[in-house]
Structure 1
Amino acid sequence: MKPRLEAAYAEPHRRYHTRAHIEACLKLLDEVQGLSADARRLLTWAIWWHDAVYDPKASDNEARSAELAEADLAAMDVSPADRAEVARLIRLTAGHAVEPGDRLGAVLVSVDLAILGAPPADYDAYARAVRQEYAHVPDALWRSGRSRVLQRFLDAPVIFPDPGLGARFEVQARENLARELATLA
């Protein structure tokens, strides 16, 4: 991994969006069946760069991470088509919405969101870590903003657009999200 990525994921303001998150995503990617070597390579790059830029006060982290990926991958002589696909995948993590038939997008978004379907203690640790990343946000604003995010996931027909990962995580994710939402009321 490039030293710039190592430094990014070790930034002191990060509590959840660290190298541990990247490693968990990569481990889960290894378990996904039916991907070609090319698809797996693109997804691996997208995972490594998807949170490379992470400023909790900014709204363009995914776009800036995609730009960084394109620049770094260009320096590695990765083809323009592959760079563009990695950037596209990274940008999907901004809203976690995927068009039907977008298998790579579905896998990336589902892998990124897998923590939502973790056992309750792991989910609670994640929720605390994200709150620490947003420590600059007053409690009342945090509760209302976080509640909107959680409710948006709960209102979606599916949280995990990849069917295999959805079968594995959807039920627990909905339980975790509903439980956290109740604590924010």
Structure 2
Amino acid sequence: MDLIDRWRTALRDAACTSDAVDGAGEALLDRWREPHRRYHTLAHLATMLSIVESAAAPVRLAVWYHDAVYDPHALGDANERASAALASAELAALGLPAPLVAEVHRLVLLTATHAAEPGDGNGALLCDADLAILASPPADYDAYAAAVREEYAHVPEDAFRAGRAAVLSHLLALPTLYRLHPEWEEPARANLARELAVLRPS
């Protein structure tokens, strides 16, 4: 199933009957194809969609929107807030029920912290999928880290190291990185610690 078919399926499962589904999907795909992206690309989208393939429609739709707005110059959680706002506006325009739209909005915002609360199955699955790359083999992880650095090529090296180290430290401080895929925990923490040691040499 190609990406636009996955989009159509998610909207159909959300009981969407709008004739604007394909146009909205193609516009989203264009966002994911933006030339400044190196890691937050269609490949990241496809990987996440594969992980959440059997999930409820709000989770799949949150995957589509969670990095729909991605500006490496943005500060704090500005990208997540803008992506959540985009999701709310577009899904409402497609006629989806307000509670479903609100859940997608909540889930997209959650990707700013990846701190899903106990009992939040939708949030846990989305966060696990978003962080799956951290548990990849070391060579794949290093390629991911290099791609992120390319996205932030405008940031001086010292500033990037400090900011990236803060992100890694935040992730390592989480009680658990994965609520639904505990087998990913050990390799992910090893990769994070290895990169952090390079950023902060003793």
TM-score, length basis structure 1:
0.90
**Structure 2 counterpart of 1:157:** 175
Count of paired positions: 175
Amino acid in structure 1 at the alignment position of 2:59: L
Per-residue CA deviation, residues 49-76 of structure 1 (Å, 9 max, x unaligned), is 1100000111311111111111111122
1:42 to 58, 69, 77: 58
The reply on whether 1:108 has 2:126 as its aligned counterpart is yes
Q: CA deviation at 1:28?
A: 1.2
Q: How does 1:62-141 map to 2 (within 5 A)?
A: 62-141=80-159
Which residue in the other structure is 1:12 paired with? 35
Matched, 1:57 2:69: no
Distance between the aligned counterparts of 2:183 and 2:93, measured in 1?
37
Post-superposition Cα deviations, 1:124-152, rounded to whole Å, max 9, x if no partner, equal 11100000001111001111111111112
Larger Rg: 2
Counterpart of 1:145 in structure 2 is 163
In the alignment, the residues of structure 2 paired with residue 4 and residue 61 of structure 1 have an alpha-carbon distance, to the nearest angstrom, of 17
Structure 2 gap segments, 5+ residues each: 5-24
The answer as to 2:198 corresponding to 1:175 is no
SS of 2:35 mapped into structure 1: coil
Deviates more, 1:151-160 or 1:14-23: 151-160
Contact 2:115 2:174 in 1 (8 A): no
CA distance in 1, matches of 2:165, 2:89: 36
Tell me the percent identity: 51
Checking the alignment, whether the CA contact within 8 Å between 2:38 and 2:148 is kept in structure 1 is: yes
Counterpart of 1:51, as a letter, is: D
Give the SS at the match of 2:27: helix
TM-score normalised per structure 2: 0.83
Q: CA RMSD in A?
A: 1.2
Give structure 1 regions of 4+ aligned residues with deviation exceeding 6 angstroms: none
Aligned to 2:11: none
How far is 1:29 from its partner? 1.4
